[in-house]
């Protein structure tokens, strides 16, 4: 099913079909989750709804502790997978062209923003295009504005980018629509009161690339890691806030209790060091609560342990492990969960990168740059795991001495080299210069 058939079947061929599409319940539900995650990352947590209480006859503002640990977890996974730039490998001439594109359009930054978006919202949308200078660029579409259209057969057939601007002191909402078809891009808005198409242009690169991870419920959309860890983080914030209230109200501010008759005066609830006169046989004491430290500590430790498991976080990152004398093998085991998560994410990023590279080839062909059928480009992810580079380089050297690996492969796998093409060019220049030097020396020996 193509987009025209989809419009005819669901919207009777309406030219403004996209207005109804963005209002469908499944789209509203998905966008609502995106906005909710954005609000959570901005500090709007469940704990803020905790009610205040009455304490010693006055209103007591209960603690509402916000811990932005979700940002730390998401930043860790984003930088772990793509904190270091990708290494492009493959045919020399094709890799050279791709690296020029990556440098000119800052694609390393775009790659990081993509994995960051997938972690926060489960999806990312990238539109590749030629700018006015005929340079290949990419635009990332905000998840809150993106409405991909899938047919009944789960075919990706269009994408709607929709947002609303509310100007101050103006009682009107202006809606903007950018509709990406496979062959054209249309822009609509209602700035003049009526919804009209303001521009239409050819689409040279096809539909925006939809990156997403695995979702067991809906195969067309991803699921955010934030959705998995929010319930645990909410529990941690709730417990720590209640503990803070308990320490202040029950331990640091106990209630005085008098048994018998007080001779004169009243008891001040908040003073320390005052004398109190009581009748013979009377008693006065402070009542406070004894908190079960071991039970509370065990509960918090278990929550932290489960959070690390669900978030694929090495316990060593949170300061929960002793890192003294940690061997290389032990370090790999500590980061095993992070490796597993990154390997899964890597699969979906690679899938999107293959689509991006196909678009690169198509746009380069329009610029007159052609490649052979056997030319290819692949990527290598450089995880930000602490490693002993000396051991790795020693292993590569041993393989090279055995004749089991080429110099090209060593350069591609070296942790200290990012631009493989540039490094190979430098080596060729050095080989040429070394050859010239040897020829000069040889000529000198012959003359002498």
Q: Which residues contact 427 (CB under 8 A, 6 or more apart)?
A: 407
Is the per-residue pLDDT at 61 higher than 60?
A: yes
Q: CA–CA separation, 256 vs 270, rounded Å? A: 10
pLDDT recorded at residue 287: 63
**Which residue do the tokens 């067309």 mark?**
220
Q: CA–CA separation, 271 vs 17, rounded Å? A: 71
pLDDT confidence of 448, banded at 50, 70, 90? very low
pLDDT confidence of 447, banded at 50, 70, 90? very low
pLDDT recorded at residue 167: 55
pLDDT recorded at residue 445: 46
pLDDT recorded at residue 436: 58
Across residues 66-81, what is the average pLDDT? 92
Of the chain, the percentage scoring pLDDT greater than 90 comes to 50
Pick the more confident residue, 400 or 115.
115
pLDDT recorded at residue 435: 61
Q: CA–CA separation, 142 vs 123, rounded Å? A: 10
Pick the more confident residue, 338 or 246.
338
Is the per-residue pLDDT at 386 higher than 80?
A: no
The domain spans of the chain are 391-431
Across residues 407-413, what is the average pLDDT? 77
pLDDT confidence of 325, banded at 50, 70, 90? very low
Per residue in 250-279, pLDDT (tens digit) is 776 766 666 666 555 555 555 555 556 566
Tokens in use for 122? 């489960």
pLDDT recorded at residue 128: 97
Per residue in 132-170, pLDDT (tens digit) is 999 999 999 999 999 999 998 999 999 999 999 765 445
Is the per-residue pLDDT at 415 higher than 80?
A: no
Across residues 117-124, what is the average pLDDT? 96
Is the per-residue pLDDT at 107 higher than 80?
A: yes
Pick the more confident residue, 236 or 408.
236
Lowest mean pLDDT among 184-198, 316-330, 334-348, 352-366: 316-330
Backbone torsions φ then ψ of 187, nearest 5 degrees: -120, 130
3-class DSSP string for the chain: CCHHHHHHHHHCCCCCHHHHHCCCHHHHHHHHHHHHHHHHHCCCCHHHHCCCEEECCEEECCCCCCCCHHHHHHHHHHHHHHCCCCEEEECHHHHHHHHHHHHHHCHHHHHHHHHHHHHHHCEEEEEEEECCCCCEEEEEECHHHEEEEECCCCCEEEEEEEEEEECCCCCCEEEEEEEECCCEEEEEECCCCCCEEEEEEECCCCCCEEEECCCCCCCCCCCCHHHHHHHHHHHHHHHHHHHHHHHHHHHHCCEEEEECCECCCCCCCCCCCCCCCECCCCEEEEECCCCCHHHHHHHHHHHHHHHHHHCCCCCCCCCCCCCCCCCHHHHHHHCHHHHHHHHHHHHHHHHHHHHHHHHHHHHHHHCCCCCCCCCCEEEECCCCCCCCHHHHHHHHHHHHHCCCCCHHHHHHHCCCCCCHHHHHHHHHHHHHHHHHHHHHHHHHHHHC
Backbone torsions φ then ψ of 440, nearest 5 degrees: -65, -45
pLDDT confidence of 446, banded at 50, 70, 90? very low
**Which residue do the tokens 């048994």 mark?**
259
pLDDT recorded at residue 159: 98
């Amino acid at each position: 099913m193509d987009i025209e058939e989809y419009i005819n079947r669901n919207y009777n061929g309406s030219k403004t079909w996209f207005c109804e599409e963005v209002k469908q319940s499944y789209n509203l539900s998905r966008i609502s989750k995106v906005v909710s995650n954005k609000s959570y990352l901005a500090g709007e947590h469940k704990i803020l709804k905790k009610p205040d209480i009455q304490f010693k006859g006055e209103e007591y503002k209960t603690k509402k502790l916000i811990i932005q640990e979700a940002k730390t977890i998401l930043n860790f996974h984003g930088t772990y997978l793509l904190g270091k730039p990708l290494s492009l490998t493959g045919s020399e001439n094709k890799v050279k062209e791709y690296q020029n594109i990556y440098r000119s359009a800052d694609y390393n930054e775009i790659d990081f923003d993509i994995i960051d978006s997938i972690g926060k919202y489960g999806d990312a949308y990238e539109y590749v295009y030629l700018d006015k200078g005929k340079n290949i660029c990419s635009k990332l579409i905000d998840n809150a504005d993106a409405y991909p259209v899938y047919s009944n057969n789960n075919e990706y057939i269009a994408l709607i980018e929709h947002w609303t601007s509310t100007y101050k002191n103006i009682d009107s909402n202006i809606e903007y629509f950018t509709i990406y078809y496979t062959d054209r891009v249309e822009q609509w808005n209602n700035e003049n009161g009526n919804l009209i198409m303001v521009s239409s242009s050819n689409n040279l690169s096809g539909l925006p690339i939809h990156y997403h991870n695995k979702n067991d419920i809906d195969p067309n959309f991803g699921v955010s890691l934030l959705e998995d860890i929010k319930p645990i983080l909410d529990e941690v914030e709730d417990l720590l806030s209640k503990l803070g209230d308990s320490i202040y109200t029950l331990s640091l501010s106990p209630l005085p209790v008098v048994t018998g008759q007080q001779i004169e005066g009243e008891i001040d609830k908040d003073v320390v060091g005052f004398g109190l006169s009581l009748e013979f046989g009377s008693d006065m004491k402070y009542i406070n609560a004894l908190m079960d430290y071991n039970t509370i500590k065990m509960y918090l430790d278990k929550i932290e342990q489960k959070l690390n498991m669900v978030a694929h976080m090495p316990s060593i990152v949170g300061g929960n492990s002793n890192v003294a004398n940690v061997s290389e093998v032990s370090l790999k085991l500590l980061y095993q969960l992070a490796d597993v998560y990154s390997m899964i994410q890597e699969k979906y990023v690679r899938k999107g990168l293959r689509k991006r590279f196909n678009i690169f080839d198509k746009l380069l062909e329009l610029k007159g740059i052609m490649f052979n059928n056997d030319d290819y480009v692949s990527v290598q992810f450089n995880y930000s795991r602490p490693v002993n580079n000396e051991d790795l380089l020693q292993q590569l050297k041993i393989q090279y001495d055995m004749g089991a690996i080429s110099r090209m492969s060593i350069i591609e796998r070296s942790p200290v080299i990012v631009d493989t093409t540039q490094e190979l060019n430098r080596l060729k220049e050095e080989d040429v210069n070394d050859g010239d030097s040897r020829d000069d020396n040889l000529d000198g020996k012959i003359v002498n």
